[in-house]
Structure 1
Amino acid sequence: MNNSQQRGTTGRSQVRRAELIAIGRKLFADTSYDALSVDDIAKHAGIAKGLIYYYFKSKRGYYLAIVEDSVAELVARAGGETDLPNAERVRRTIDGYLYYAEHHQAAYRTIVTGGVGSDSEVLAIRDAVREELVATIAEGAYGHRTVPPLARLALVGWLSGVEGITLEWIGGLAARAAAGAGAAAGAGADGQPDHAQLGALLVRQLRATLTVIAEFVPQCPAPPVPDGDLVPVTGSS
């Protein structure tokens, strides 16, 4: 746990801290870590820089709190609804993942790219969320979170592809929004897929990955394909 989480235990302090984290997500999405000073952050937030030190102790502590907060939200959305049947849970996981990326684009980029890049603690946070997502998919596919190394590598490879595809997708959404078409307009003349189409693609790719895993790792048989398995859940909120 980031030491900054020891600060701000009252309701008002928690709200203020959350507000600062939301501001930080936007600032670090548009500006590199090294290019922003605590003075810059305080100016953009309209606060005294002492508040940054009070809640987060340092700029690095502030940045780590932003990453940790983003990761917790992504994992919670992607890994929710554990009482569903396995196949449905997998689909919900993918849908929740895409919903988060679509509606929290700056935070998603921070999580996937590692933000600072050379900061080992930031990269460790990023790797931890990848491990959690792989375990969530494994549990949905096989009923348990731990799988043999070869199966795990295949799932990691699929997730790496998901990250690259999703980054490209939200980049297209941002470009569309900048052009005035609206980020949530769905697939249009520009050929950009909407949430449902991309979800269907990722589910199909996962199904193919699970089939290949079954060929190499007999103890991980491909789950049966239920009716509608290739159609993603949509309309998350």
Structure 2
Amino acid sequence: MSTGVRRRMGVEERRQQLIGVALELFSRRSPDEVSVDEIASAAGISRPLVYHYFPGKLSLYEAALQRAADDLAGRFVEPHEGPLGARLLRVMRRFFDFVDDHGPGFAALMRGGPAVGSSTTNALIDSVRQAAYDQIMAHLGVTRAPARLELVVRSWISLAESTALIWLDGRRIPRGELETQLVHDFAALAAVSAAYDEETAALIRRALKDEPPTGPFSDLAVRLIALAS
């Protein structure tokens, strides 16, 4: 009968294992509620060994946030092919996949959790927002955005964050409806901005010229016409 020999891990392999274990626990409960003892137990090592790899819970938490931030930023990466509305809808689905799977961890990342106000946490949050901004601008084919368009995109990213946080508190609206609504929100914000700025209007016209009649942007137009009639 095999007794099962525990394999020794290298330093970096063990660090990555602990980060993965911490992320899994943080995905189910707030990081404030997860103890170092729980992390050690889930990793199959002793509490002192956790401290051998990380100086404290905060440093492990920040490492876990870094991995979560990298994952979340990657959700905004989308091939620059096909209508913009469909692309944004796929981005929102992947974004909400992350939110759905890592609810407490997402809330901790956006609200700061036990590291609220720390320069590391703030930098991670800013990096996710900047990555999302850069991706959206790339989809619009813009390298230097007019001031109004930059305001639209950054406001929309903040709206997506706050919408997801509110949705996590009870999930009272079907997720799919929110994903579509956020794409509609982008179109609405862009349209209002375009009405005030011709440079933004030209960029938006170019981005929307290939939108099909069955896409999310066309769906919004139908809904607004019905509302006004």
With normalisation by structure 2, the TM-score equals 0.74
Distance in 1, Cα, partners of 2:143 & 2:30: 32
Distance in 1, Cα, partners of 2:15 & 2:91: 28
Counterpart for residue 189 of structure 1: none
What does 1:145-224 align with in structure 2 at a 5 Å threshold?
Answer: 146-173=144-171, 192-221=172-201, 222=204, 223-224=207-208
Q: Which has the higher contact order (CA 8 A, sep 6+)?
A: 2
Structure 1 residues 90, 8: CA separation in 2 closer, same or farther (over 3 Å shift)? farther
Structure 1 or 2: more helix by fraction:
2
What percentage of aligned pairs have identical amino acids? Answer: 22
Deviations 1:81-103 (A, max 9, x none): 32433513222212211121112
Q: Which runs of 5+ in 1 are unaligned?
A: 1-6, 174-191, 232-237
- Root-mean-square deviation (CA, aligned residues, Å) is 2.8
Give yes or no for the alignment of 1:229 onto 2:209: no
What letter matches 1:121 in structure 2?
A: T
Larger radius of gyration: 2
Deviations 1:189-234 (A, max 9, x none): xxx3222211111111110111123233432332324333318xxx
Structure 1 residues 8, 76: CA separation in 2 closer, same or farther (over 3 Å shift)? farther
Distance in 2, Cα, partners of 1:230 & 1:27: 33
Alignment match of 1:48 (pick from 46, 49, 57): 46
Deviations 1:11-48 (A, max 9, x none): xx36623443324524861526xxx7645754676632
Structure 1 stretch displaced more, 115-124 or 22-31: 22-31
Contact 2:21–2:39, Cα closer than 8 Å, also in 1: no
Structure 1 residues 45, 17: CA separation in 2 closer, same or farther (over 3 Å shift)? closer
1:78 match: secondary structure: coil
> For this pair of structures, how many residues does the alignment match?
200
1:21 match: secondary structure: helix
Distance in 2, Cα, partners of 1:51 & 1:28: 23
Structure 1 segments (4+ residues) deviating >6 Å: none
Structure 1 residues 65, 210: CA separation in 2 closer, same or farther (over 3 Å shift)? same
Distance in 2, Cα, partners of 1:229 & 1:19: 38
Q: Which runs of 5+ in 2 are unaligned?
A: 1-9, 218-229
Distance in 2, Cα, partners of 1:24 & 1:68: 15
Contact 1:203–1:230, Cα closer than 8 Å, also in 2: yes
